[in-house]
Amino acid sequence: MKKHPKHRVTAVAVVINEEKKILLINGPKRGWEMPAGHVEEGEPLSSAVIRETKEETGIDIEIIRFSGIFQDVKGSICSILFIAKPIGGELQTSSESLELGYFDIEDAKRMVTWRSFKEQIEYCTHYKDPFVVEFNH
């Protein structure tokens, strides 16, 4: 019997507040990035992005729209990106977020060091139509 391929699916929240600033966390592994995490087996994408954002930041979000997909072909990771707005909760750090806050988009792109994360911010803040980006890093 042929084995099914194994892929990792992550849900990413691009949280933009009323001042048009983006929420970033400074994680212990990758530095500054958007709240995100693995989608659990049997978990809807929308529930995963809401749960991960709450766990990492203390913030409750409302999803505004699906934004796009970034696929790391070599790493077999598919990141599903959503635009969201904060609707409650209070900013608080966690084991996954040593620092966090809202930042101007241009400042955020300078703070983020991972190229694919910078590209995700760029795509999500500049394109209204859903996108698919495939890369081999």
Sign of CA dihedral 71, 76, 77, 80: positive
Residue 121 near residue 109 (C-beta atoms within 8 A): yes
Catalytic residue among 99, 106, 122, 134: 99
Cα 31 from chain centroid (whole Å): 13
To the query of whether residue 41 is one of the catalytic residues in this protein, the response is no
Q: Which residues are catalytic?
A: 99
